[in-house]
Amino acid sequence: MNCISDYDFALVNTTLRGILRARGDESEMRSELNILCRALLGLPASALTLFPERCLTREQAERLTTILPRLKAGEPLAYILGQTDFCFLRIACRPGVLIPRGDTELLAETGIRHLPENGRVLDLCCGTGCVGLALAAAGAAVVCADISEEALALTRENAALNGLTVRTVKSDLFSALNGERFNLILCNPPYIASGDIEKLDRSVRDFEPKLALDGGNDGLAFYRKLKQEAFAHLTPGGKLLVEHGYDQGEAVRRLFGEENTTTLRDNGGHERVAVITQGEI
């Protein structure tokens, strides 16, 4: 077969696998390869081995050659493609706003399980708005708050993209939410200890906003603020749901009170989300 571009599927397969393998472990490589192939070709990665002689179109080849240097530099795939999937939503992503992770789907799913009828929800530190939008899709009246105007603009874009409605508020935690109360407050705050930022994978360390990562000296600075401020913004019987690092479950329980806190594990078996009820804390 005569190729109309410089790439056939066999070369694409070899090239992408080599770059992606250097970026992460084998399972992550397979996942990213599949995402890339669907974005580039509209086909699963298996097509690269099933039809090695098939060629890219010139348009596909031009897009691939634009993507390759960014992949080699370690840039996150969600920034390169401009989008990712979260729960059942398509979420636009841009540099300057934290990329939604699969682990955070547990926070959204837990919020949906605890959502009362006609519930009012606050997505605090909303970033792309992915958590709040999942709750809005489940029927909640949602306020998305963030200190970053860039994040709030992206939240509004993602609401329109998914045909949902949320209210956005620029707020340093609860500073612009005086007197407002919610059935649920969900928060995925910065929780990486300041000294650990430089140890992160370069795709996170070099590309994602430190404002959304740095949780202070021990990673718990924002949880202390939540303990002080969040419960004044909950209705009677309301709950605070927070995501935390895989090794922070015990520290979060101690902070909020063991008797008030239930910890849930993610698909990897790590403690990931705390459900906190108001008590004598």
The answer to whether 38 touches 91, Cβ cutoff 8 Å, is no
pLDDT in the model for residue 6? 75
d(Cα 104, Cα 137) in Å, to the nearest integer?
A: 16
Residue 86 lies in a domain: no
Confidence of residue 27 (pLDDT cuts 50, 70, 90): confident
pLDDT in the model for residue 5? 63
Residue 248 lies in a domain: yes
Q: 68 with 104, same domain? A: no
- Please give the sequence-ordered ranges of beta strands (E in DSSP) within 98-188, or none if there are none: 120-124, 141-146, 167-170, 182-187
The answer to whether 243 touches 107, Cβ cutoff 8 Å, is yes
Q: 201 with 262, same domain? A: yes
Residue 247 lies in a domain: yes
| CA distances for 133 relative to 96, 176, 185, angstroms | 19, 20, 13
Q: 104 with 204, same domain? A: yes
Q: 136 with 175, same domain? A: yes
Residue 1 lies in a domain: no
CATH code at position 199: 3.40.50.150
Looking at this protein, which amino acid is placed at residue 264?
Answer: L
Average pLDDT over residues 39-50: 94
Average pLDDT over residues 227-245: 96
Q: 64 with 129, same domain? A: no
d(Cα 37, Cα 51) in Å, to the nearest integer?
A: 13
pLDDT digits (tens, 9 = 90+) for 76-123: 999 999 999 999 999 999 999 999 999 999 999 999 999 999 999 999
d(Cα 230, Cα 205) in Å, to the nearest integer?
A: 29
Residue 111 lies in a domain: yes
What residues make up the domain containing 17? Answer: 9-73
Looking at this protein, which amino acid is placed at residue 55?
Answer: C
For the record, the structure tokens of 181 come out as 């109360």
Residue 171 lies in a domain: yes
